[in-house]
Amino acid sequence: MKKYIIATTALLVVATSAFSQGLVYFSAGSSVATRMSTNSVVGGPSTGLTGTTPGLYYYALFASASQANVNGNTTAISGLNANYVFNNLGSGVPSTGWELVGIGTNNASSGRMQPASQGTTSAGQSIPNADLSLNVQGIAGAGSANIVAVGWYSPGIGPDLASLQTWYGAGAFNGWIGQSVVGNVVLGDGGTIPSPNVFGTGPGQLGGFMMGLTIVPEPTTLALAAFGGASLLLFRRKK
């Protein structure tokens, strides 16, 4: 009987945490400190804000109730790096790892972004809530959530998390990618606890971050490619 009660209690706890959800906003750029930028050379400094053509940059937000760092790192990173959250998800659920919250994209204002979808898997995305807030599955409103965001330049990569993981796993050539600091917010409950924006300058909020250029093929590689192309053209003309 005692075991039965313990098991039932444990199930109830799991069920409660599985169905609990808090709320966050996922938009950046109203203040200068939260705007997104890129660089121009591998490892170089920021050279400007993201552009004004919507849908070129995508952002993924992750949350965890248990992880206060990503592979031991809490600072912003860019370019090639071992500490991207999508390569260090752990169990993939907030209680013991990092979980996807939703996807955002840049809008027509330089350096800014807004949410596009929400869901805990790359394929299982749906529209944000009516007020454009996102549900953080597995962490209740008024609960504390660690947060981190990843951004990337989508041409040549794709707009979803799965395509980002595929591109990065294949060598991450010719792209821009970056990750925010790891922050912490108290999730909104849709009532008396207001929903926070994950981006801001307040305690625990994320600042804007830089997406850094990854690997560019070396000049000799480019020269070889050019030589090969020219040879093909010559060969075609002779025929």
Distance of CA 228 to the CA centre of its chain: 38
Verify binding: residue 106, other proteins, rule CB under 8 A: no
45 binds other proteins (CB under 8 A): no
State the nearest-atom distance from the C-beta of 48 to other proteins, in Å.
17
- At residue 59, the 3 state secondary structure works out as strand
Asked if 28 interacts with other proteins (CB under 8 A), we say: yes
Q: 41: buried, middle or exposed (CB in 10 Å: 19+, 13-18, 0-12)? A: exposed
The verdict on 109 binding other proteins (CB under 8 A) reads yes
H helices, E strands: number in the chain: 3, 12
Residue 30 binds other proteins, judged by CB under 8 A:
yes
Q: Where are the alpha helices (DSSP H) in 32-175?
A: 161-169
Residue 37 interacts with other proteins (CB under 8 A): yes or no:
no
User: Does residue 115 touch other proteins according to CB under 8 A?
Assistant: yes
Among 33, 127, 222, 233, binds other proteins (CB under 8 A): 33
Q: Determine, following the binding rule CB under 8 A, whether residue 112 of this chain makes contact with other proteins.
A: yes
Q: Contact 56/153 with Cβ under 8 angstroms?
A: yes
Q: Compute and round to an integer the Cα radius of gyration of the chain.
A: 21
Contacting residues toward other proteins, per CB under 8 A: 25, 27-34, 107-109, 112, 114-115, 128, 131-133, 142, 185-186, 190-195, 197, 200-204
